[in-house]
Amino acid sequence: MYVYAEYLLIENIIINFIILYVTKKITRTKTSKLRLFIASLVGSTYTLVAFFPSLQFMGKFIIKFSVSILMIILAFNPEKLHQFFKQLSAFYMVAFGFAGAIIGIFYILNNNFNLTEFSFKDFDELVKFLIVGIGVAILLIRYILKFYQIKINKEKFLTNITIGLNEKEAKLTALIDTGNSLKEPISQRPVIIAEYSALECILPEIIRNMYLNKKELDLNFMANVMDEIGDDIRLRLIPFKSIGSENGILVGFKPDSIEVYLDNETKKLTEDIIVAIYNDKLAADEQYNGLLHPEILG
């Protein structure tokens, strides 16, 4: 069987591009098709080492692993280490899924029972098995991803918001939470819930000290803070109910401005909207640090 370098290169570019594209979808990474193509081309060029006996040392594991790392960097340019490991693990999961599907299809359709032989008669047979194997792999991966559909759908409801107070700004990633029905009891306006750590940069020092000392649930202490702070920030006490907390209290305030960044527009909220301060983590995976009431967006 003859192997033509140009066919091998084109074939690997296509396969690498598909693997990187599926990796992009799984990890929800924003990147361009040009970056995916460049990474695919680099990974495919590496396979040409097989045609040069003097470069056989580049077939070692450390070199192969380094090439895959380079492909991830070129394709996605990860800014954080956890993003890099997430993309790298997804890349190998998809690659092994494709390879396993191709090998599996080969043995199912091959009449030879000898499992030690793995070779194709000609290039046309190779292409046939690649097409069938890739198709089966895509179906398998799509089926597996259904188990993670809730998480993937949740990410579609994430948006960035900016909260302004006393000429300072805090930027948050908020979940548009359809289960959030919290409203300020007097005005009945919807409430945005935000983590204290995200709002710390815009809060007055007296309020920061209150949260650092865990005094936000001390009503007497809160009353003194409200008297002392005066009109600098208009505080609210917002009762709420949740599992494990029948009579909870959140401290809220009315910000000077709120901007919500949607896909096609930036929405500036002009109504009296209250921001409630939550002194804990809203998401275990830290995907978001705010909860946006759906009524705010209409």
Of 142-156, 195-209, 284-298, minimum mean pLDDT range: 142-156
CB 90 within 8 A of CB 23: yes
Burial 240-273 (b: 16+ CB within 10 A, else e): beeeeeeeeebbbbbbeebebeeeeeeeebeeeb
How much is the pLDDT for 256? 86
Looking at 152, 178, 199, which one is the last position of a domain? 152
Q: Give 43's strand partners.
A: none
**Crossing angle of helices 61-76 and 33-46, rounded to 10°:** 170
Neighbours of 79 (CB within 10 A): 7
Do 147 and 11 lie in one domain? The reply is yes
Q: In what order do the strands lie in the sheet with 274-278?
A: 235-242, 245-253, 274-278, 191-195, 290-292, 168-176, 158-165, 257-261, 266-269
Question: 85 lies in which domain range?
Answer: 5-152
Average pLDDT on 16-27 reads 84
Do 188 and 111 lie in one domain? The reply is no
Neighbours of 48 (CB within 10 A): 13
CA distance 155 to 25: 12
CB 42 within 8 A of CB 74: yes
Q: Tell me the CATH number at 241.
A: 2.40.70
Measured in Å, how far apart are the chain's first and last C-alpha atoms?
Answer: 64
Looking at 104, 134, 152, which one is the last position of a domain? 152
Do 27 and 130 lie in one domain? The reply is yes
How much is the pLDDT for 107? 63
Do 147 and 181 lie in one domain? The reply is no
Conformational region of residue 274, where left means phi above 0, alpha means psi within -120 to 50, and beta covers everything else: beta
Specify the number of domains making up the chain.
2
Please determine, for residue 176, whether its predicted confidence score (pLDDT) is greater than 60.
Answer: yes
Do 168 and 283 lie in one domain? The reply is yes
Do 292 and 165 lie in one domain? The reply is yes
Three-state DSSP at 259 gives strand
87-118, pLDDT tens digit by residue? 888 888 888 777 666 666 666 666 554 544 54
How much is the pLDDT for 233? 76
Do 167 and 96 lie in one domain? The reply is no
Looking at 152, 184, 216, which one is the last position of a domain? 152
Do 142 and 174 lie in one domain? The reply is no
35-59, pLDDT tens digit by residue? 999 998 888 888 776 566 666 666 6
Do 33 and 91 lie in one domain? The reply is yes
Do 18 and 141 lie in one domain? The reply is yes
> pTM of this prediction?
0.48
Average pLDDT on 198-212 reads 87
Do 108 and 188 lie in one domain? The reply is no
Do 166 and 144 lie in one domain? The reply is no
The mean of the pLDDT values for the chain is 76
